[in-house]
Chains A and B, each alone.
Chain A
Amino acid sequence: MVRKLRAVSQGASVPHRKNTSGQSTERMPVPKQVTLMMQQHIGAPAKPVVKKGDEVLVGQMVGEAGGFVSSPVYSGVSGKVKALEQVVAANGALVEAVVIETDGQQTLSGDVAVPQVHNRESFLEAVRACGLVGLGGAGFPTAVKLSPKELDKIDILLINGAECEPYITSDEQEILENSGDILSGIAAVQKYLGIERAVIGIERNKPEAMDLLFSLTKGKAGIEVHPLPSKYPQGAEKVLIEQVTGRQVPAGGLPSDVGVIVLNVTTAGTLGRYLSTGMPLVTKRLTVDGGAVAQPKNVEVILGTSVAEVIEFCGGYKEPPGKLLMGGPMMGVALPGDGYPVMKQNNAILALSAAEAALPEEGPCIRCGRCIASCPMSLSPTETEEAYKNRDLDRLKKLNADVCIACGVCSYVCPAKRYVSQHANLARGYLLKEVAKERGKS
Chain B
Amino acid sequence: MENHKLQVAASPHITSGASTRKIMLAVIVALLPTLAATTMIFGLRALLLTAVTVAACVAFEALWCRLMKKPIPVGDLSAVVTGLILAFNLPPAFPLWMAVVGAFVSIVITKQLFGGLGFNFANPALVGRIVMQLSFTGPMIDYTFPSTYGGVDALATATPLIVAKNQALPMIDMMLGTHGGVLGETCAVTLLLGGLFLIVTRVISAAIPLFYIGGVFLFKFFLNLGSGASAAESAYESLTLVLAGGLLLGAFFMATDYVTSPYTLSGKVIFGLCLAVLTVSIREWATMPEGVSFSILLMNLLVPYINNLTRRRPMGVPKGRWKSGKGAA
Instruction: List residues of chain A with CB within 8 A of the CB of B10.
Output: 334, 419, 421-422, 425
> How does the 8 Å CB contact mask read for B309-324 relative to A, with 1 for contact and 0 for none?
0011111111001100
A325 interface residue (CB < 8 Å to B):
yes
> How does the 8 Å CB contact mask read for A359-400 relative to B, with 1 for contact and 0 for none?
110011111111011001111100100000000000011111
Interface size on A, residues (CB 8 A): 80
Instruction: List residues of chain A with CB within 8 A of the CB of B328.
Output: 251-252, 397, 400, 402, 431-432, 435
A323: nearest chain-B partner, CB-CB? B7
A28 interface residue (CB < 8 Å to B):
no
Interface size on B, residues (CB 8 A): 49
**Contact between B316 and A397 (Cβ–Cβ < 8 Å)?**
no
**Contact between A366 and B314 (Cβ–Cβ < 8 Å)?**
no
Query: A329-B12, A368-B258 known; A321 and B329 CB under 8 Å?
Result: no
A401 interface residue (CB < 8 Å to B):
yes
**How near does chain B come to A381, taking the closest CB pair, in angstroms?**
10
**Contact between B322 and A400 (Cβ–Cβ < 8 Å)?**
yes
**Contact between A403 and B316 (Cβ–Cβ < 8 Å)?**
yes
B3 interface residue (CB < 8 Å to A):
yes
Instruction: List residues of chain B with CB within 8 A of the CB of A416.
Output: 19-20, 118
Instruction: List residues of chain A with CB within 8 A of the CB of B265.
Output: 373
Query: A377-B315, A378-B314 known; A334 and B263 CB under 8 Å?
Result: no
**Contact between A397 and B327 (Cβ–Cβ < 8 Å)?**
yes
> How does the 8 Å CB contact mask read for B233-268 relative to A, with 1 for contact and 0 for none?
000000000000000000000000011001111000
**Contact between B315 and A321 (Cβ–Cβ < 8 Å)?**
no
**Contact between B316 and A250 (Cβ–Cβ < 8 Å)?**
yes
Other-chain residue from A320, A329, A365, A411 in contact with B5 (beta carbon distance below 8 A): A320
**Contact between B317 and A363 (Cβ–Cβ < 8 Å)?**
no
Instruction: List residues of chain B with CB within 8 A of the CB of A238.
Output: 315-316
Instruction: List residues of chain B with CB within 8 A of the CB of A324.
Output: 6
**Contact between A335 and B8 (Cβ–Cβ < 8 Å)?**
yes
Other-chain residue from B5, B13, B315 in contact with A378 (beta carbon distance below 8 A): B315
**How near does chain A come to B112, taking the closest CB pair, in angstroms?**
12
Bound state CA distance, A337 and B2, in angstroms? 8
**Contact between A248 and B315 (Cβ–Cβ < 8 Å)?**
yes
**Contact between A415 and B22 (Cβ–Cβ < 8 Å)?**
yes
Query: A334-B13, A414-B18, A415-B20 known; A251 and B321 CB under 8 Å?
Result: yes
Bound state CA distance, A285 and B325, in angstroms? 45
B117 interface residue (CB < 8 Å to A):
yes
> How does the 8 Å CB contact mask read for B284-327 relative to A, with 1 for contact and 0 for none?
00000000000000000000000100011111111001100111
Other-chain residue from B4, B15, B20, B318 in contact with A250 (beta carbon distance below 8 A): B318
Query: A250-B316, A400-B328, A416-B20 known; A406 and B11 CB under 8 Å?
Result: yes
A356: nearest chain-B partner, CB-CB? B14
**Contact between A372 and B264 (Cβ–Cβ < 8 Å)?**
yes
Other-chain residue from B4, B14, B329 in contact with A14 (beta carbon distance below 8 A): B14
Instruction: List residues of chain B with CB within 8 A of the CB of A356.
Output: 14
Instruction: List residues of chain B with CB within 8 A of the CB of A242.
Output: 315
**Contact between B5 and A336 (Cβ–Cβ < 8 Å)?**
no
B19: nearest chain-A partner, CB-CB? A415
A408: nearest chain-B partner, CB-CB? B12
Instruction: List residues of chain A with CB within 8 A of the CB of B326.
Output: 397-398
Other-chain residue from A335, A396, A402, A411 in contact with B12 (beta carbon distance below 8 A): A411
**Contact between A251 and B316 (Cβ–Cβ < 8 Å)?**
yes
**How near does chain B come to A400, taking the closest CB pair, in angstroms?**
5
B119 interface residue (CB < 8 Å to A):
yes
**Contact between A337 and B259 (Cβ–Cβ < 8 Å)?**
no
**How near does chain A come to B270, taking the closest CB pair, in angstroms?**
14
A422: nearest chain-B partner, CB-CB? B10
A123 interface residue (CB < 8 Å to B):
no
A-B contact sample (5 more), CB < 8 A, given A248-B315, A251-B317: A325-B13, A339-B1, A367-B259, A372-B264, A425-B10
7 smallest beta-carbon distances between A and B, as pairs: A408-B12, A397-B327, A369-B263, A415-B18, A378-B312, A364-B118, A398-B325
B residues bordering A, Cβ < 8 Å?
Answer: 1, 3-16, 18-20, 22-23, 73, 76, 78, 116-119, 258-259, 262-265, 307, 311-318, 321-322, 325-329
A residues bordering B, Cβ < 8 Å?
Answer: 12, 14-15, 166, 238-239, 242, 248-253, 308, 317, 320-325, 327, 329-339, 352, 356-357, 359-360, 363-370, 372-373, 376-380, 383, 396-403, 406, 408, 411-417, 419, 421-422, 425, 431-432, 435, 438-439
